[in-house]
Amino acid sequence: MSQRVDYDRVADLYESRYLRNDYSGVEKALAAFVERARIERQRVLEVGCGGGHWLRWLDEANVNVAGLDPSAGMLNVARSAGGARHLIRGQAEALPCLSGSVSRVFCVNALHHFEDPAAFFREARRVLNADGGLMTVGLDPHTGHDEWWIYEYFPETLIADRQRYLPALRIRELMTSSGFDACETRVIQHIPRELTVSEAMTGGFMNRDATSQFMVISESEYEAGVKRIHNADAAASGRTTLRSNLRLYGTTGWAA
């Protein structure tokens, strides 16, 4: 069984992932998704906003955006970083918003952390207005299409992710049953990357708090994976390549 991630504990370090990784595809998809709300100055809500990266990005684009997260530590980071004007502490399954008060709801790499995704979809539909839309962004480790050195050297992370992440088909089914129409999934970002072990270490990619995949496995499982990497690198005389070939999927649905 995977461990829960204590986001209050890692809040100060969480935002560094946006310095290590390219999210240009997510930016493009998110900008298109909120464009009508931006023009009409309607409210956009990010659920699972974390340290506020996407809130700041949208605020700079003149989007009327608010963020919700259950972690006080994460919200403190978002507040300290600025740009996030409306921050709410709450749960995805019980959104503290009036019915029909929001034009767009989105979550980026957050759905797999929600206790009850089906309840979240029902709540998202409740708070959306008649022309509202919902978008979720995340991995789908069920497809078998992706390659990731983390899954290779830390096999427990793949087991955990297949428990945490819903397949895209199931996401669409839950959205449809919650009152969404025209639900579709597409790849919004393809992320190929190759790193040497040295680059992964100096760039922070192997830090325990670098990704939730490391944080949901035990300390012994994490240390065993690090040892596998160093053993492989030693056997290859320092020429081991850590490969990633990941896809981020965006699933959208519209108020029926």
pLDDT at position 209: 87
Q: What is the pLDDT of residues 86-138, one digit of tens each?
A: 899 999 999 999 999 999 999 999 999 999 999 999 999 999 999 999 999 99
Question: By percentage, how much of the chain surpasses pLDDT 90?
Answer: 86
- Per-residue pLDDT at 1 exceeds 60: no
Q: What is the pLDDT of residues 232-246, one digit of tens each?
A: 999 999 999 999 999
Which has more pLDDT, 84 or 72?
Answer: 72
Count of domains observed in the chain: 1
Which has more pLDDT, 21 or 105?
Answer: 105
Mean pLDDT of 13-40: 88
Give the CATH number for residue 181: 3.40.50.150
Q: Model confidence at 19, in pLDDT bands (50, 70, 90)?
A: confident
CA distances from 120 to 36, 110, 116, 136 (A): 23, 11, 6, 11
Q: What is the pLDDT of residues 26-36, one digit of tens each?
A: 999 999 999 99
- Give me the domain span that covers residue 153: 7-255
- Residue 38 within any structural domain of the chain: yes
Burial of 87 (0-12, 13-18, 19+ CB in 10 A): middle
pTM score of the predicted model: 0.92
Q: Of all helices (H) and strands (E), which one includes residue 219?
A: helix 219-235
Q: Model confidence at 5, in pLDDT bands (50, 70, 90)?
A: low
pLDDT at position 9: 61
pLDDT at position 24: 94
Give the span between the Cα atoms of 78 and 28, in whole angstroms. 22
Mean pLDDT of 191-216: 93
- Residue 186 within any structural domain of the chain: yes
| DSSP 8-state symbol, 3 | P
- Residue 1 within any structural domain of the chain: no
Q: Of all helices (H) and strands (E), which one includes residue 26?
A: helix 24-40
**Side chain identity, residue 226:** V
- Residue 2 within any structural domain of the chain: no
